[in-house]
Amino acid sequence: MPEIHHTDLLVVGAGPAGYTAAIYAARASLKPILVTGMQPGGQLTITTDVENYPGFATPVQGPWLMEQMRAQAEHVGTQLVYDLIVRADLKNGPGPDGYFRLVGDSGDEFRARTVVIATGAQAKWLGLESEKRLQRGGVSACATCDGFFYRGKTVAVIGGGNTAVEEGLYLTHHADKVHLIHRRDSLRAERILQERLFSNPKIEVHWNQAVEEILGSGEPEVVCGVALKDTQTGALSKLDVDGVFVAIGHTPNAGPFRHEVACDSDGYILTESSGTETSVKGVFAAGDIQDRIFRQAVTAAGTGCMAALEAERYLSGIPAMTKT
């Protein structure tokens, strides 16, 4: 039978932002409930070596780091519920009893005085089998996260928008050679970014080229190249590279919140410039669902902390409610 859960603070999403929000909320005696969603741990569950998260002198595994965050959240008093929120009634504010209502895929109803949305964003992928197979062997969607591992090597960046150009420029600080592969004959990126790209001697642009396959070798298998097809002539070619960065954008996991709080045209939740409050009082957003620029575990954790503290302050001005 479906259950009804009551909480002062409901966290939706189990990535760095969600776990951090839950940790701070639990320490504030808010007895938070965290609904994990489809991918507990978020993007870090497909990340191998994490070398830029503060506190670790040597690289740690992404899944391990998320397991530690989960354990800490539970240790301080967070209740984890393995469910997926499929409906949220937020835009009209809390009900007469002071609670927002959300419904899980299980049928369970969650009644919360405040809500932190931390559902993250998913990198867009090419959809190749080899791309998925090699995600732990040299295929990445985050140059800031993984560029360090390609010092002195050759990499490929796939895409033609701002993200691809920014990733390519960043990678020149580590790699000796960066190949930008774009399926069209012009870039969509801002003009100033294009100028920086074209003037960088480490970057070579390959126009009208589509990636047919990402090539791997060795045991364990790692990236050794990309197979390309000319989008105009159909000619096939091969490019030897040590790593591939897919930079064709991200999709925010707005789900049932898309029409409940204000979002931008791409679906990222809009928050106050100096905080995490959304267009609905008592509803906050943290992590990649509201951050289309940095998308780092440490910045997600920071906004998770902010969201919990803001929720606590919001609750301090509300009289205690009686469960119904």
How confident is the model over 50-98, as pLDDT tens digits?
Answer: 888 999 999 898 899 999 999 999 999 999 999 999 999 999 999 999 9
Within-domain flag for 34: yes
Within-domain flag for 324: no
Residue 322 has pLDDT above 80, yes or no: no
Same domain? 144 vs 200: yes
Residue 202 has pLDDT above 60, yes or no: yes
Taking residues 98-120, what's their average pLDDT? 98
Within-domain flag for 111: yes
Structural domain boundaries enclosing 141: 126-247
Same domain? 33 vs 92: yes
Same domain? 50 vs 158: no
Within-domain flag for 58: yes
Select from 232, 247, 262 the last residue of a domain. Answer: 247
Same domain? 148 vs 225: yes
Mean pLDDT is lowest, of 224-228, 257-261, 272-276, 309-313, for 272-276
Catalytic-labelled residue, pool 8, 83, 146, 291: 146
pLDDT of residue 145: 87
220 cis-preceded (ω within 30 degrees of 0): yes
Same domain? 104 vs 189: no
Select from 212, 230, 247 the last residue of a domain. Answer: 247
pLDDT of residue 51: 84
Name the band, by pLDDT with cuts 50, 70 and 90, for residue 298: very high
Same domain? 29 vs 107: yes
pLDDT of residue 181: 98
Within-domain flag for 142: yes
Same domain? 157 vs 200: yes
Is 203 strand, coil or helix? strand
How would DSSP label each residue in 52-113?
Answer: SSTT-SS-EEHHHHHHHHHHHHHHTTPEEE---EEEEE-TT-S-TTS-EEEEETTS-EEEEE
**β 85-89/222-230 pair status:** unpaired
Of the candidates 247, 239, 46, the residue with the CA atom closest to the CA atom of residue 137: 46
Residue 318 has pLDDT above 90, yes or no: no
Residue 305 catalytic? no
Same domain? 300 vs 243: no
The predicted-structure confidence for 145-183, as pLDDT tens digits, reads as follows 899 999 999 999 999 999 899 999 999 999 999 999 999
Residue 201 has pLDDT above 60, yes or no: yes
pLDDT of residue 321: 55
Given CA atoms 258, 259, 262, 264 in this order, what sign does their dihedral have? positive
User: Tell me, what CATH number does 228's domain have?
Assistant: 3.50.50.60
Within-domain flag for 287: yes
Select from 247, 265, 297 the last residue of a domain. Answer: 247
pLDDT of residue 324: 53
Name the band, by pLDDT with cuts 50, 70 and 90, for residue 295: confident
Catalytic-labelled residue, pool 145, 288, 291, 305: 145
pLDDT of residue 214: 98
Same domain? 135 vs 236: yes
pLDDT of residue 183: 97
pLDDT of residue 175: 98
- The total number of structural domains in the chain stands at 2
Name the token pair of 178.
């960066």
Q: What's the half-sphere exposure (Cβ side, CA atoms, 13 Å) at 158?
A: 27
Within-domain flag for 323: no
Residue 240 catalytic? no
Catalytic-labelled residue, pool 8, 49, 89, 142: 142
pLDDT of residue 59: 87
Same domain? 134 vs 242: yes
Within-domain flag for 290: yes
Same domain? 275 vs 298: yes
pLDDT of residue 48: 67
Residue 110 has pLDDT above 80, yes or no: yes
pLDDT of residue 55: 95
Same domain? 184 vs 287: no
pLDDT of residue 52: 86
Residue 142 catalytic? yes
Name the token pair of 297.
């575990």
